[in-house]
Amino acid sequence: MNYWIAPSILAADFSRLGDEIRAVLEAGADLIHFDVMDNHYVPNLSVGPLVLTALRDAGIDCTMDVHLMVKPVDRLIGDFLTSGADIISIHPESTEHLHRSLALIREGGARAGIVFNPATSIALLEEVIDLVDLVLIMSVNPGFGGQAFIASSLEKLRLARNVIDASGNEIRLEIDGGIKADNIADAARAGADTFVAGSAIFGSADYPATITTMRENLAAA
């Protein structure tokens, strides 16, 4: 299995963001998870497209996995396409017309992701399965890093895995929230192949050691 580990910038030292990203990439991260919060859809405020543009201008060319927690979302999809996002994921609650918003992402040349909150049913996944390249299951309520993993997310991962496999489409299944070295294998066994980790990586003293332990635990899953 080709597992991807995606450190979330939310837990990085923002005064040295470029260096922090280079450090986790050097430590073995596969892509960078870029959390965008608007103090409206979620009760927190993070960073916008200017910051992604600055990182690209500074030569950071890794896969950027942009998680939009903003409402309305459509205009910012355009901004993040221009800034150099590779993957853009959106919440169904953040748009009046999910089908159109997902199409906007692909038309702009990025991969499209759909995000399910802990209390959101994945029933509509089948309706948009041909429009998405990534399904993101939230294992915390969006808005903050450092929260505890919600165990029922494992069942939601299994359900999503079944829908993805039945479609035959090439779609990543990502888990976000409360992922640590000691529960990453549980998420893999439930069907996840892409793992966001903020505080578990950036909050650790040794990024390579933390990512290596995660990979060892994934290999044994």
Least distance (Å) between residue 220 CB and Zn ion: 26
- Based on C-alpha coordinates, what's the Rg of the chain? 16
Under the binding rule (CB under 6 A), the answer on residue 143 touching ligand DX5 is yes
The one segment of 42-50, 96-104, 144-152, 169-177 that binds Zn ion by CB under 5 A: 169-177
Note the helical H segments in the chain.
17-26, 49-57, 74-83, 98-107, 125-128, 153-167, 184-189, 199-202, 207-219
- Using CB under 5 A as the binding rule, the residues of this chain from 30 to 49 that contact Zn ion are 35
Of the candidate residues 146, 152, 165, 216, the single one contacting ligand DX5 (CB under 6 A): 146
Return the one option of Zn ion, ligand DX5, none that residue 113 interacts with (CB less than 5 to 8 A, by type).
none
Give the CB-side neighbour count of residue 113, counting CA atoms within 13 A: 26
Of the candidate residues 92, 113, 191, 198, the single one contacting ligand DX5 (CB under 6 A): 198
The H helix count followed by the E strand count for the chain is 9, 8
Of the candidate residues 49, 92, 113, 142, the single one contacting ligand DX5 (CB under 6 A): 142
Structure tokens at 99: 């089908």
Is 176 annotated as catalytic?
Answer: yes
Single out the catalytic residue among 30, 35, 133, 193.
Answer: 35
Buried b / exposed e along 111-142 (16+ C-beta atoms within 10 A) = bbbbbbbeebebeebeebbebbbbbbbbbbeb
Under the binding rule (CB under 6 A), the answer on residue 38 touching ligand DX5 is no
Return residues touching ligand DX5 (CB under 6 A). 8, 10-11, 33, 35, 67, 140, 142-143, 145-147, 176-179, 196-200
